[in-house]
Structure 1
Amino acid sequence: MDERAEQEAAQQHRKDMPPLRIMFYSHDTFGLGHLRRSRTLATALTQTDPQTSAIILTGSPVAGRFTFPERVDHIRLPGVTKLSDGSYISQTLGAGIEDTTSLRAGLIQAAIERYEPDLLVVDKEPTGFRGELLPSLRWLRERGHTRTVLGLRDVLDEPTALASEWERKGATRAAEELYDEIWVYGMREMYDPTKGLPLSQDARSRMHWTGYLRREFAVDVDVPDSPYILITPGGGGDGAAMVSLVLSAYEEDPTLEPKAVLVYGPFLSGELRDRFEARVAKLNGRVTATGFDRHIEALFVGAEGVISMGGYNTFCEVLSFDKRAVIVPRTTPRLEQWLRASRAEEMGLVRMLEETRDGMTTRAMIDAIRNLPQQNKPSEAGANDLLGGLDTVIARVDALMNNMGPQ
């Protein structure tokens, strides 16, 4: 059977099946990465099959700012905040973290029981926040009617630190025993996020490298008419140093071009943002800024280049929209962004501004911005070959649903 005939047979098979229900778990104690990744996957799967619906369980405090496509909805779990010492507190309830976690676990269990998903896709954390997902995963395993998938971004952390973290959380055992498949949203030749983890050969045989998740732009949104570079620290909560460095570059060099569009992200706020706004105002339009843009893809499309931190979603957008980029990765509390940016630079996909090599100086940022036009685009280094993630995920869902016998 040729490829077209196989696709038509798969489409007919889906039409003959009852409506598919998919649930995504996205713990989101900080930042936007997990929610945005889950939303991208949910959108692709529901657009492919008009009978499929999806619900995202998320702890993100800004989930309500996003629009969700038809047949995709979200349930907001009570939020938690990570303190500087690594501990957590309830974001708004005033309850202890144990009570908040218990409440979240109960809401997760109730949602799963009521929605009865055919597939549960868990983002990054095999046991959920503080183990809140374990009761639901075990319940699903006992019933045997729901397929479970652990979805991992391309890079998690430095191997030794990751192994210690997973051992402490019981994540390795959960990945071994409670998931039908493990999806890595990246490429094996880029990085193996499970490097250093004591996963069995059986668990590794259930791993699938999907490729990166391509982003699309289909919304008619106004963008600046004149040339600009896009400055984005992602969610923004840990992006103050990068933002300040970019502003210093435009302050020190009045001839620096092109203009810059700065998107702070929803978590860069308060007095710090007020100080940045005052600096932006003094640049007389050479830098314009906004707090949060739910259609940031449009700004990527129109940009001459990008200065950003090294989060997974931003990296996918740089590849998808084929933008010359300088990545300024964070190195704490994880080395994830540095590992991704370092490997991507080796492959010729981006340039990295690295503190020990380049120096986090105003001069280094000025040079990085000036040199952007001389960089190769990601496509020139084979980026298009890396972006098959959504197609692979759709195929894996078909395969899992076609094999719904006893587990």
Structure 2
Amino acid sequence: MSSGNLADVECRVLTYSHDGFGMGHLRRNINVTTRFLADAPESSVLMLVGCSPESYFELPAGIDFIKLPSIVKVATGVHQLSSLRIGQLQAEALRNSLIKRVADVYRPDLLLVDYVPAGVWGELLPTLRMLKQRKDAPVMMLGMREIIDAPDVVREHWRREGTYEVINRYYDAVVVYGCPDVFDTVREYGLDRELTIPIRYCGYVCSEETIRPSEQMREELLVGEGDRLVVVTGGGGRDAYPMMRTCIQALGLVRKELPLTGVLIAGPLMGSSQKESLREEARAAGVRFLNYVCGNLSYLNAADLVITMAGYNSLAEVLRLKKKALVIPRLGPSAEQTTRSELFARRGLIDTLSPRCLSPEQLAARIRLDLERDDFPVEDPLIDLDGARQAAAHLAALNRDRAVAAHEDHGSAVFPTRGGMTVPRPGQERIDLVHPTMGSISEPLTAEAAVLSRPIVKHNRSGRHG
């Protein structure tokens, strides 16, 4: 272990994601903690999840998970069990007790919560209280995607539920997985007026998985010479059936006029009966149907056009790959996807179509048009796609600060990690401090300034950013 690496103070990370509709929260936590472990390979990450990630993602060594009973989101702030046939009160008690017991035994150094500060049904509150009261209390960080719902809906809901108070009372920092130039999460949701803890934008969190060469993927998919490749994906797929059915019919129409290969990826959360229905329709239309794939990015990278919904991870992947995308947003249960698709389309990053009354003929016409267009996606220098690294660096710096504070109480010049190794106290290593991705960061920079490359949004009561 290098004594200059700010991320290598060995620690235990506990993450929470509820994943009430898709897999976005889980995937963000995996992307951030995978990057964290790359810089702190002796650390461990335990994930509290609503769906089993090992079935859909490759987890690196050091990450494991405990699955909670699954839930589904039916409206803003409203969830219900998706499988178990037990009452909601019993379900709440079951999830609550599991979360608290895991945290009690695991004793994390860092807690990373995605999106819901108090947890579904307030199930995190007993655990947050317990952890905060410990002498070795962990650092608690809240991660938020850039768009949750319409601003007035979020502000009203958070005030009614006491969410701002929960964040101020229990959390040490907030990171926003987005860019203020696209959507000013801090201002729109009143965080600058209501919160008294540091808030930081870190950019969009993208997967860092290896992408296979486009030519290799097209060969494997049997794309004919001169064919255009259109790949259709709906993220997890739980609510993608209507969109994908229309896409199959539209691709069938386009194939009558253009040399085209269509590939449809259903997603792991789509129901089996819906998958079978789509498989039959795809076969009749000459479209290739895939149940689920590992290495989703490689398929998208090979495409001439991607058709997708407007989930956070789906569009982050499109931005990373710089692919032409025709986006059909989900209409509910929140305004998240419609808002994101409108903002991205306005910046020339995607094309978008409303799913309201969308016919196969309308979609086919737009597919033909987008295949010929060369005016999107545009280069946008204000889009930051380095969110995984920056969020992981922020976690590392928070952990370092926690370790320093704990051992300064003992007056020691060095402090041990869990593995028994030691690193110098800050200041002693300043001359040769090296960060794994930024290189040498010597004299003028403090340790935290070197790790954190995005400005902090300072809270104040005036409603303006500091």
Report the AA paired with residue 337 of structure 1.
Q
Question: Distance between the aligned counterparts of 2:358 and 2:4, measured in 1?
Answer: 52
2:300 aligned with 1:300 = yes
Deviation at 1:394, TM superposition (A): 2.6
Deviation at 1:14, TM superposition (A): 4.4
Report the AA paired with residue 397 of structure 2.
A
Q: 1:397 to 1:340 in 2, by over 3 A?
A: same
2:42 aligned with 1:44 = no
2:167 to 175, 188, 195: 175
2:216 aligned with 1:217 = no
Deviation at 1:243, TM superposition (A): 0.9
With 37-46 and 386-395 compared, the bigger mean Cα shift is at 386-395
Question: Distance between the aligned counterparts of 1:153 and 1:27, measured in 2?
Answer: 14
2:128 aligned with 1:108 = no
Deviation at 1:205, TM superposition (A): 5.4
Question: Distance between the aligned counterparts of 1:397 and 1:148, measured in 2?
Answer: 9
Deviation at 1:316, TM superposition (A): 1.0
Question: Distance between the aligned counterparts of 2:196 and 2:376, measured in 1?
Answer: 34
Q: Residue 337 of structure 1 aligns to a residue in which SS?
A: helix
| Alpha-carbon contact 1:140-1:146 (below 8 Å) kept | yes
In the other structure, the counterpart of 1:255 is: 257
Question: Distance between the aligned counterparts of 1:10 and 1:369, measured in 2?
Answer: 52
Q: Over aligned residue pairs, what C-alpha RMSD do you find?
A: 2.6
Q: 1:202 to 1:332 in 2, by over 3 A?
A: closer
- Alignment gaps of 5+ in structure 1: 1-7
% identical equivalent positions: 28
Report the AA paired with residue 277 of structure 1.
R
1:121 to 93, 100, 112: 112
| Alpha-carbon contact 2:140-2:170 (below 8 Å) kept | yes
Question: Distance between the aligned counterparts of 1:390 and 1:271, measured in 2?
Answer: 36
Q: Specify the structure having the higher radius of gyration (Cα).
A: 2
Report the AA paired with residue 242 of structure 1.
M
Report the AA paired with residue 390 of structure 1.
A
Question: Distance between the aligned counterparts of 2:154 and 2:106, measured in 1?
Answer: 33
| Alpha-carbon contact 2:20-2:79 (below 8 Å) kept | no
Report the AA paired with residue 224 of structure 1.
L
String of CA shifts for 1:232-290, please: whole Å, max 9, x gaps.
11111221221122112123341245311111112222433332222111123xx1111
Question: Distance between the aligned counterparts of 2:245 and 2:203, measured in 1?
Answer: 33
Deviation at 1:376, TM superposition (A): 4.0
Higher relative contact order (CA 8 A, sep 6+): 2
Question: Distance between the aligned counterparts of 1:208 and 1:78, measured in 2?
Answer: 32
Question: Distance between the aligned counterparts of 1:87 and 1:355, measured in 2?
Answer: 24
Q: 1:301 to 1:398 in 2, by over 3 A?
A: same
Report the AA paired with residue 318 of structure 1.
V
Q: 1:213 to 1:88 in 2, by over 3 A?
A: closer
Structure number having the greater helix percentage:
1
Deviation at 1:379, TM superposition (A): 5.9
Q: 1:181 to 1:88 in 2, by over 3 A?
A: closer
In the other structure, the counterpart of 1:401 is: 399
With 192-201 and 111-120 compared, the bigger mean Cα shift is at 192-201
Deviation at 1:28, TM superposition (A): 1.7
In the other structure, the counterpart of 2:333 is: 333
| Alpha-carbon contact 2:231-2:300 (below 8 Å) kept | yes
TM-score of the aligned structures, taking structure 2 as reference length:
0.77
Deviation at 1:180, TM superposition (A): 0.6
TM-score of the aligned structures, taking structure 1 as reference length:
0.88
Deviation at 1:341, TM superposition (A): 0.9
Question: Distance between the aligned counterparts of 2:31 and 2:273, measured in 1?
Answer: 32
| Alpha-carbon contact 1:22-1:117 (below 8 Å) kept | yes
Matches within 5 A, 1:86-165: 88-143=79-134, 145-165=137-157
Q: 1:267 to 1:256 in 2, by over 3 A?
A: farther
2:178 to 183, 186, 189: 186
Question: Distance between the aligned counterparts of 2:162 and 2:342, measured in 1?
Answer: 29
| Alpha-carbon contact 1:247-1:279 (below 8 Å) kept | yes
| Alpha-carbon contact 1:186-1:210 (below 8 Å) kept | yes
Q: 1:85 to 1:46 in 2, by over 3 A?
A: closer
Q: Residue 257 of structure 2 aligns to a residue in which SS?
A: coil
Deviation at 1:141, TM superposition (A): 1.4
In the other structure, the counterpart of 1:4 is: none
Report the AA paired with residue 107 of structure 1.
L
Q: Residue 167 of structure 2 aligns to a residue in which SS?
A: helix
String of CA shifts for 1:203-233, please: whole Å, max 9, x gaps.
2651100001132332769642425221011
Deviation at 1:294, TM superposition (A): 2.9
Q: Residue 380 of structure 1 aligns to a residue in which SS?
A: coil
Q: 1:186 to 1:10 in 2, by over 3 A?
A: farther
Q: Residue 285 of structure 2 aligns to a residue in which SS?
A: coil
- Alignment gaps of 5+ in structure 2: 407-466
String of CA shifts for 1:359-380, please: whole Å, max 9, x gaps.
6232331232223341445462
Deviation at 1:75, TM superposition (A): 0.9
Q: Residue 16 of structure 2 aligns to a residue in which SS?
A: strand
| Alpha-carbon contact 2:19-2:25 (below 8 Å) kept | yes
Question: Distance between the aligned counterparts of 1:78 and 1:170, measured in 2?
Answer: 25
Q: 1:87 to 1:400 in 2, by over 3 A?
A: closer
Q: 1:322 to 1:83 in 2, by over 3 A?
A: closer
With 297-306 and 312-321 compared, the bigger mean Cα shift is at 297-306
Q: Residue 381 of structure 1 aligns to a residue in which SS?
A: coil
2:386 to 360, 376, 388: 388
Deviation at 1:349, TM superposition (A): 1.1
Deviation at 1:81, TM superposition (A): 4.0
In the other structure, the counterpart of 1:22 is: 13
String of CA shifts for 1:280-317, please: whole Å, max 9, x gaps.
11123xx1111222321221222222100000000111
| Alpha-carbon contact 1:159-1:195 (below 8 Å) kept | no
Q: Residue 386 of structure 1 aligns to a residue in which SS?
A: coil
| Alpha-carbon contact 1:82-1:89 (below 8 Å) kept | yes
Q: 1:366 to 1:166 in 2, by over 3 A?
A: same
